[in-house]
Structure 1
Amino acid sequence: MGSRVAPPLAIIFMDSLERDFNTSASHKPDLYMRYIDDVLGVWTHGSANLQEYFRHINDAHPSIKFTIESTDKTPSIPFLDTSITVEPTGKYTTELYIKPTSAGIILHADSAHPWKTKRAVLHSQIRRAINISSDNSARERSIEKIKDLFLNNGYNMRTISRATSCCQTSRPRPRRRATPVTRLVLPFIDDKLAQTVQAIVHKSGQQNLGVTWTNKQTIKNQLVRSALKPPPCPGGSRCHSCAAGLQGRCHSSGVVYQLTCTLCNRSYIGETGRHIRLRYNEHLRDAKNHRMDSPWGDHFRDDHPRCRPEPQHIAAKILQTCNTSRDRKIAESLWIRTYRPALNTNIASWAVL
């Protein structure tokens, strides 16, 4: 299922197939539930009829073959993350099921995430074990599996025991009506800095202000690339931005950039959501035409009136790549505050403390 559309198509196909073979079957299951490719059913028509039904559904389509596990051969069968045990009396119990082939990997205690996130993951997994289990003994076995999982991922027993006690004694809080909250999105550095910022926000008295921590520097982002090589420059050998120093990156978009006059070393910092080559061409055109009220038009008209601007006169460099317009505005303001470029008329795009 490498394509995004594959799972929905598979589900639609299986739904049509199931309707056909369940309609034509001589005996039908009392309960038939499927999630993707896992099916759970309840059968009360005897083992012989079950085998006949099994052969019937396997003959429904040449490319679809089912396998079967039943409580006739083993008292417990797994379905997704639940192990279902049927006793001789007909009573059944449920508890948490973890595949023997599971890698046992979950958010590690030493990973670069806020501690609040790690604690939430721990609590959610313990609550999952509790909710799946049907009685006290099953609940204890399920919680032990979760304890082993988190111990193997660097969490200490004190933290796990405290979370277990909290989940077993606390009751779910009723949902309150959501109030609008302004989110301050900041890069996560470490827990110490996060706690300091949270304390400052709390002391500010702003009830509708929250902090969301993000970290774009993941291992996946560092190691995985969707393209084997950058796309070719659409301008070819005549691309002005490539000649100005953006060779191989002129197609980049959503960037904060710096342009430097090679004649006097004065610079300008800006941002754009478009391809950087398009924005560079606009700056170069302003310089050539001595456009009024533009940084490069004013600069070459006032400081280099006899120079015919070419790409070698305005060197280009990408300072930062951003995902959103808000991030670009903030990054541009920070770079302007750091470099104090002479050709910028504004101190910053946004006010930066």
Structure 2
Amino acid sequence: MNNEKLTYKLMKNNRGQLQNLTDHLNTVDVTNNIKFTHEEESNGAIPFLDTLITRKEDGSIQLVVYRKKTHTDQYLNFSSHHPLQHKLSVVRTLLDRCYNLVTETEDRDKEEEHVKQALGQCGYPDWTIKRVKTEILKRKNENKDKKKVKHTDRDNKSKGMVVIPYVKGLSEAVSRVFNKHRVATAMRPHQTLRNILVHPKDKQETTEKAEGCVHMMCGVDCGERAA
């Protein structure tokens, strides 16, 4: 039996065992609310989380960023009312994934170009990409040359963190004041679409609320109840 026939036979057996395992798992939940599925590789490739794993002829694997066909490349718009660090974190997340997951240099260059185009459609200027890319490269170089240094001076330590609502122009100034006193700041949106649009219950005026009282036994067998 040649290698091709042997490989086909092994793959066929594995597929049968995988289907049997899937069928067995689907019998565990008697309520039939949980359904298990499995996915088989196609043309030597299979998606896993955010990556597409491809088996190469030499036995090694190639990783690229995987996006579903329904992916729209819509991210936090740069003109939205959010702190700048929130928008830069979008860039940082996409570039970190590109540099840390993609294995081939050519694929990495394509992914970086795709990120630039996608963010450009969301209003991100070129300087945001360059700024984050420079920070990532700087951080990698610092990690290589990093030496462990023990800080014994308590005055250099952070004194905590505060969370403040984001108001453009004001929150940045407040953050700078806190930073002078070694207090870290985190910002959250002051108003969201959920707060504006979602109201499960109508607001009830105070005058429409009915008065009520609670009665409980006082513990003494006197026939009376305490209000």
TM-score when normalising by structure 1:
0.46
Residues 96, 129 of structure 1: 8 Å contact kept: yes
Question: 2:165 pairs with 187, 194, 197, which one?
Answer: 187
| Equivalences for residues 269-280 of structure 1 within 5 A | none
Q: Could you say which residue in structure 2 is the equivalent of 1:153?
A: 122
- Structure 2 residue aligned with 1:69: 40
| CA-CA distance at 1:57 after TM superposition | 2.0
For this pair of structures, how many residues does the alignment match? Answer: 190
> CA separation of 1:90/1:210 partners in 2, compared to 1, >3 Å: closer, same or farther?
closer
- CA displacement at 1:45 relative to structure 2: 7.3
Q: Does 1:92 align with 2:58?
A: no
| Inter-CA distance 131–154: structure 2 relative to 1 (3 Å threshold) | same
Computing the radius of gyration from Cα coordinates, the structure with the larger value is 1
> Which residue of structure 1 lines up, in the alignment, with residue 78 of structure 2?
109
Give the direction of change, closer, same or farther, for the CA distance of 1:148–1:69 in structure 2 (3 Å limit).
Answer: farther
1:247 aligns with 2:215: no
**Separation in 1, partners of 2:59, 2:87:** 40
Task: Tell me if structure 2 keeps the 8 A contact 1:130–1:142.
Answer: no
Instruction: Tell me: CA distance 1:226–1:179, structure 2 relative to 1, closer, same or farther (3 Å).
Output: farther
- The list of structure 1 runs, each at least 4 consecutive aligned residues, that deviate by more than 6 angstroms after superposition, is 174-178
Mapped pair 1:211 → 2:195: no
Structure 1 residues 308-323: aligned runs within 5 Å: none
Shift of the 180–220 alpha-carbon distance from structure 1 to 2, 3 Å rule, reads same
In the TM superposition, residue 86 of structure 1 has moved relative to its aligned partner by 1.1
SS in 2 for 1:46: helix
CA distance 1:117–1:66, change in 2 (3 Å): closer
Describe the SS at the equivalent of 1:93: strand
**RMSD (CA atoms):** 3.3
Amino acid in structure 1 at the alignment position of 2:20: H
Structure 2 distance, partners of 1:211, 1:139, is 34
Q: Which residue of 2 aligns with 1:52?
A: 16
Tell whether the 8 Å contact from 2:167 to 2:190 is kept in structure 1 after alignment. Answer: no
Cα distance between partner residues in 1 of 2:9 and 2:200: 53
Cα distance change, pair 133–188 in 1 and its aligned pair in 2 (3 A): same
* Counterparts of 1:52 and 1:214, CA distance in 2: 51
Counterpart of 1:56 in structure 2: which amino acid?
N
Taking the aligned partners of 2:63 and 2:85, their CA distance within structure 1 comes to 30
Distance in 1, matches of 2:8 and 2:95, equals: 34
Instruction: Name the % identity.
Output: 21
Alpha-carbon distance in structure 1 between the residues aligned to 2:189 and 2:52: 36
The separation in 2 between residues aligned to 1:107 and 1:124, in whole angstroms, is 12
1:197 aligns with 2:174: yes
Q: CA deviation at 1:184?
A: 4.2
Between the two structures, name the one with larger relative contact order (CA 8 Å, sep ≥ 6).
2
Displacement after TM superposition at 1:55 (Å): 3.1
Question: 2:223 matched to 1:224?
Answer: no
Higher strand share: 1
* Structure 2: distance between partners of 1:129 and 1:199: 32
Q: Note the 1:10-29 alignment, pairs <5 A.
A: none
Q: Quick one: which amino acid aligns to residue 77 of structure 1?
A: I
**How many angstroms apart in 2 are the aligned matches of 1:180 and 1:167?**
23
2:76–2:87 contact (8 Å) kept in structure 1? yes
Q: Deviations over 1:8-37 (max 9, x none)?
A: xxxxxxxxxxxxxxxxxxxxxxxxxxxxxx
Q: Secondary structure at the match of 1:111?
A: coil
Distance 1:57 1:189, change over 3 A: same
Kept in 1, the 8 Å contact 2:162–2:184? The answer is: yes
Distance, in Å, in 1 between the alignment partners of 2:176 and 2:89 is: 20
- CA change 1:44–1:218 in 2 (3 A) is farther
Secondary structure, in 3 states, of the residue corresponding to 1:187? Answer: strand
Q: Is the 8 A contact 2:164 2:188 kept in 1?
A: yes
Q: Distance in 1 between matches of 2:159 and 2:8?
A: 54
Contact in 1 for aligned 2:164/2:185 (Cα 8 Å): yes
